[in-house]
Amino acid sequence: MIDRYAGIAPKGDLMLLQRLGEIFRGRSFLHVNSTRAGGGVAEILQRMMPILEELGIDARWEVIEADDRFFDITKKIHNAIQGYGEKITEEMWRYYYEVNRSNAGRIDLGADAVFIHDPQPASLIEFRKRRGTWVWRCHIDVSNPVKEVCDHLMRYCEKYDATIFSVAKFTRAISVDEYIIPPSIDPLSEKNRELSDGEINEVLERFGIPGERPILLQVSRFDRFKDPIGVIKAYRMVKKYNDCILILAGSPATDDPEGEVVLNEVREYAAGDPDIFILLLPAFSDREINALQRSATVVLQKSLKEGFGLTVSEAMWKGKPVIGGATGGIPLQIVHGYTGFLVHTPEGAAFRIRQFLNNAAMVKRMGERGREHVRANFLITKQVRDYLSVWYILENKGKTVYEL
């Protein structure tokens, strides 16, 4: 399987992966998160497990089991951590802890390296086994949170051996090492592999989308932080100048109870416009998303708050021009004016869409640069390489240069 990345991922990444695989052959590596479907974390873990296994590492992925009450609480924690005022009562924290305690009894937490993803299972650290390197892998922005909520969560996080954040500005002053590793896309996955014209057209026909008109596309959960309403506003401004259709496509996630509410708001705002296609795709609609991205003229990720926004890299890998909100990990992917455009308002998005719709040379140029930017920085081979490097560094602490 690693061989399949030859010619796609940088050679050096593959060589270091093989070397790290030799070092960690037969060692156990556990990942724990809160959902098996929906959202970037689950997607990456799904693709990462076979790579780790092929390297000879005993990799395991566990998902915590919880009820709606738990996910309501963790959604509020998630919002508060990202700076949106939510109050978490003592009773809510107790319930949060109890659900993790019960999962600790169910999941075998014994492994040489244990990566716990995001706030939902963070308190599992209280139940760590004696052996193993424990890392809290945070995919969200904790730089400007509701203080009391963050302080409570950080009491758990500071018990880990280290933390990993996606972007430097997501970090905060805590007492454990903070590594910066961006998430990634898998170029060989169903979502990113090359598709034939026939495969793309089949998807468009199935959804009744006219392929001959310019397509604006945003793929994301129906979440207010992703600003789907702002995207519709931008589309309406563009529509006065250029013919186009808008597709808003997203999958529900089991750990996001607000999705349906936001979806209804979006449907209402679209007000029956026949050129707006709101697609609620089932989980694992990877080929459909791939086809939509490949058929798009312009791709948007107009988030107001964002963990990383991997849909940006997905679209850039397909050579598409991308317009993104200047937030979270999006500016790492979109180098403004070089691999796409960063915007702050629906007006800004509308202007950049019009630029792309009227300048094919710019679309091509930025699309090519975007693909190379993703190749160098945001492929899954690099992320696995970096996870294993951090594991190695934590087991051999004290140096700034390691020769393998």
Partner 1 sequence: MKGTEAESKVEKNRNSSFEFKQCVSILKSTAKRARDLRELREQISTVSEDSIFHHTCQYFLKGRVREYTNDFAQWTGETLEESALAEQLSNIDPYVFRNLSELRKALLSVIDDYLENFPEPKAAMPGEDFCFNETISVVFSAGIKAKNLAEFLVAIKYVDSASIYYHFYEARTRLGGKVDDFSRWFEDVLRERELAEKIRCIDPFMHSIEGIRTHIVEVVEEKVKRDMTVTGTGK
**Least distance from partner 1 to the Cβ atom of residue 178, Å:** 4
User: Is 6 an interacting residue with respect to partner 1 (CB under 8 A)?
Assistant: no
Of 173 and 361, nearer to partner 1 (C-beta) is 173
Shortest distance, position 256 Cβ to partner 1, whole Å: 24
Stretch that binds partner 1, among 224-232, 271-279, 347-355, 391-399 (CB under 8 A): 391-399
**3-state DSSP assignment of residue 195:** coil
Q: Which of 1, 4, 12, 148 binds partner 1 (CB under 8 A)?
A: 12
Mark residues 334-353: x for contact with partner 1 by CB under 8 A, - for none. Answer: ----x---------------
* Residues numbered 228-287 forming contacts with partner 1, rule: CB under 8 A: none
Confirm or reject binding of residue 206 to partner 1 (CB under 8 A): no
Q: What is the DSSP code string of 5-63?
A: GBTTB-HHHHHHHHHHHHHHTT-EEEEEES-SSSSHHHHHHHHHHHHHHHTT-EEEEEE
Instruction: State which of residues 4, 8, 11, 364 lies at the interface with partner 1 (CB under 8 A).
Output: 11
| Binding flag, residue 399, partner 1 (CB under 8 A) | yes
Q: Binding marks (x or -) toward partner 1, 129..148, rule CB under 8 A?
A: --------------xx----
Q: Across-strand partners of 325?
A: 343
Q: For residue 275, give Cα distances in angstroms to 204, 226, 244, 272, 299.
A: 14, 20, 8, 9, 16
Residue 21 identity: G
Of 73-92, binders to partner 1 (CB under 8 A) are none
The values of phi and psi at residue 143, to 5°, are -80, -25
* Structure token pair of residue 6: 């030859």
Strand partners, 249: 219, 279
Of residues 251, 303, 327, 381, which one binds partner 1 by CB under 8 A? 327
Per CB under 8 A, 201 contacts partner 1: no
Measured distance CA(11)–CA(8) in Å, rounded? 8
**Piece in contact with partner 1 (CB under 8 A), picked from 121-129, 131-139, 286-294, 381-389:** 381-389
End-to-end CA, the chain? 23
177 interacts with partner 1 by CB under 8 A? yes
Query: Which range binds partner 1 by CB under 8 A, 92-100, 174-182, 185-193, 350-358?
Result: 174-182
φ, ψ of residue 152 to 5 degrees: the values are: -65, -45
Give the burial string for 211-239 (b: 16+ CB within 10 Å, else e): eeeebbbbbbbbbbbbbbbbbbbbbeebb
Give the residues lining the site for partner 1 (CB under 8 A).
10-13, 15-16, 19, 143-144, 165, 168-169, 171-174, 177-181, 327, 338, 376, 385-386, 389-390, 392-393, 399-404
